[in-house]
Amino acid sequence: MDEIEKNDYNLNISRYVSTATAEEPIDLQAVNAELKEIEKRAAKAAETHNAFLKELGLPPV
């Protein structure tokens, strides 16, 4: 009753009962490994792209 009084007699259920769902745990090591792999592929793609630019006589990116 003290809590209800403290909340100005607001009986909104969400004020007293949490309806939030738990978030899925994130495997940070897996995410980090995936990001490293993406970074390697991006560097390889940039290298290939720059080779094409060089053939065309254009400056690299």
Q: What is the structure's pLDDT at 7?
A: 81
CA distances from 8 to 13, 14, 18, 32, 43 (A): 14, 15, 19, 48, 59
Going residue by residue through the chain, which has 61 residues, state the pLDDT in tens, using 9 for 90 and above.
Answer: 888 888 888 887 777 788 888 899 999 999 999 999 999 999 999 999 999 999 999 999 8
Domain chopping of the chain, boundaries: 25-61
What does the block give as tokens for 50?
A: 């720059």
The answer to whether 60 and 53 are in contact (CB under 8 A) is yes
Predicted confidence at residue 52, as pLDDT, reads 97
